[in-house]
A = this chain, B = another copy of it.
């Protein structure tokens, strides 16, 4: 493919057709070529391949799968695979923790998969510089267990099970984003393998740099479509001291949202502010994933840390505020056991919602809207009106819930429904996503575009924005071999 035009963007209509050769003979030749120089573990077992385009939350279902999986151990091996795939027009998807949502792992064109499971080492830590050097398959949970003894921690906290490589790809965040920012704020430099096998490091280890284009930030959130990440230098933070956790229940969801609005306006910087509606709490109780049952009310989960005076001022303010808003109950605790109960309940929420499926084939559908915090109350209020007002949920027996990283305006509206209700449910969630855009927000605060949100992305950044992204994609990956069809369409019918 050539970029023959002098335009700054690449409209889909100008995008030449991509051609792949995924014939068994071509893949077989690829394997021989790659394995000639490197003894890379690999497998062509269909069951194993199927799992690589599947995730815990989004089974591959009818989607395409790769036909060979490689398990490299070094950057050089990844480069060899990419180089050979580039020469032979073979698509590459990559796999880490398998927790992504939205279809980022789907091998739309088949091809091969690079599973990073054998690149899971922490390569070094620089305590004084507050950074750590890791391979892509280090999990954030495991990294934090390792850092804890050093009094350090790595803030981005998506689904447990997520790996650093996937977290970089998806530009993820979690409950700590309100206080600490998202993944891109914690990546100093990346070692990349480009589509043609070129290896480069985006920068050294200084905390700040103006040395040319910010290649690091371009790759964070690019969903594996621009480069494969084989090593990362990450910032780490000082482990919060004097941790307190709070739990506040309200009769009405809107009251909880109003309390959040006042906390945000107060200028007090808590560690986390999370919202769960009544059905979400019911799901936690029902699933048995929490350590103790919680009162089934709209609930705020709060985290405080820092100097004693700061925490005291924050907890007093919040407790008083909750009481003024007729909270059903307010609890703040520094007890380790109680923290595990309360925050453990919050952390299991994603899995608890999935557990509300009545049948294995039920679907777990959800939004990921994020809006300016001043619009957050409106987003929650209207999202509920859209989903409940339709009456579809009640009529069809859906399970609907709202969970929010409300401190940064990010709310997930979830529907669990039989697979035959997919269109009806998606139509409602699409209304919620459009609402987020009207409120000057985004369709995806932390989950990424994947396959699902590509057309809505046009509503968010305009056709010009998407066409600029496509121009970058095809400039860096002219054959479209890296995770094709994600983020931006490369052809009209896939």
Residue of B nearest to A454 (CB): B212
Q: Check A212–B409 contact: CB distance below 8 A.
A: no
Q: Check B445–A208 contact: CB distance below 8 A.
A: yes
Residue of B nearest to A173 (CB): B208
A131 CB contacts on chain B under 8 angstroms: 372
Q: Check B128–A198 contact: CB distance below 8 A.
A: no
Counted per complex, copies of this chain come to 2
Residue of B nearest to A8 (CB): B194
Q: Check A212–B8 contact: CB distance below 8 A.
A: no
Q: Indicate whether A300 reaches chain B with its CB closer than 8 angstroms.
A: no
A358 CB contacts on chain B under 8 angstroms: none
Contact pick for A217, options B217, B476, B487, CB 8 Å: B217
Q: Check B468–A215 contact: CB distance below 8 A.
A: yes
Q: Check A210–B172 contact: CB distance below 8 A.
A: yes
Contact pick for A200, options B172, B194, B465, CB 8 Å: B465
Cβ proximity bits A170-196 to B, threshold 8 Å, 1 near / 0 not:
111100010001101100000000111
Residue of B nearest to A86 (CB): B6
Q: Which chain A residues (397-422) contact chain B, with CB distance < 8 Å? A: 408-410
Also in contact, A215 and B460, with CB within 8 A (given A185-B185, A205-B440): no
Bound CA–CA A202/B464 (angstroms): 10
A199 CB contacts on chain B under 8 angstroms: 464
Bound CA–CA A185/B206 (angstroms): 16
Residue of B nearest to A220 (CB): B214
A440 CB contacts on chain B under 8 angstroms: 204-206
Q: Indicate whether A26 reaches chain B with its CB closer than 8 angstroms.
A: no
Q: Check B8–A476 contact: CB distance below 8 A.
A: yes
Question: Which residues of A are interface residues toward B (Cβ below 8 A)?
Answer: 1-9, 86, 126, 128-129, 131, 170-173, 177, 181-182, 184-185, 194-196, 198-215, 217-218, 220-222, 226, 238, 264-265, 267, 307, 309-310, 313, 368, 370-374, 408-410, 437, 440-449, 453, 457, 460-462, 464-469, 471-479, 487-488
Contact pick for A372, options B207, B408, B472, B488, CB 8 Å: B207
Q: Check A471–B475 contact: CB distance below 8 A.
A: yes
Residue of B nearest to A89 (CB): B6
Residue of B nearest to A443 (CB): B211
Bound CA–CA A368/B230 (angstroms): 29
Q: Check B444–A211 contact: CB distance below 8 A.
A: yes
Bound CA–CA A138/B4 (angstroms): 38
A372 CB contacts on chain B under 8 angstroms: 126, 128-129, 131, 205-207
Residue of B nearest to A313 (CB): B307
Bound CA–CA A466/B203 (angstroms): 11
Bound CA–CA A440/B468 (angstroms): 33
Closest 5 CB pairs of A and B: A475-B475, A217-B217, A8-B194, A128-B374, A200-B464
Contact pick for A198, options B8, B170, B222, B474, CB 8 Å: B8
A215 CB contacts on chain B under 8 angstroms: 461, 465, 468-469
Bound CA–CA A155/B209 (angstroms): 17
Bound CA–CA A309/B313 (angstroms): 12
A–B complex contacts, Cβ < 8 Å, 7 sampled: A3-B478, A177-B208, A181-B208, A194-B464, A204-B442, A205-B440, A472-B475
A220 CB contacts on chain B under 8 angstroms: 214
Bound CA–CA A238/B177 (angstroms): 18
Other A-B pairs beyond A173-B208, A205-B441, A210-B449, 18, CB < 8 Å: A7-B196, A128-B374, A170-B210, A177-B208, A184-B214, A194-B464, A202-B465, A206-B371, A206-B442, A207-B370, A208-B410, A210-B221, A210-B368, A211-B457, A212-B469, A212-B487, A213-B226, A215-B469
Q: Which of A8, A172, A207, A410 has the most CB of B within 10 A?
A: A8
Bound CA–CA A408/B208 (angstroms): 7
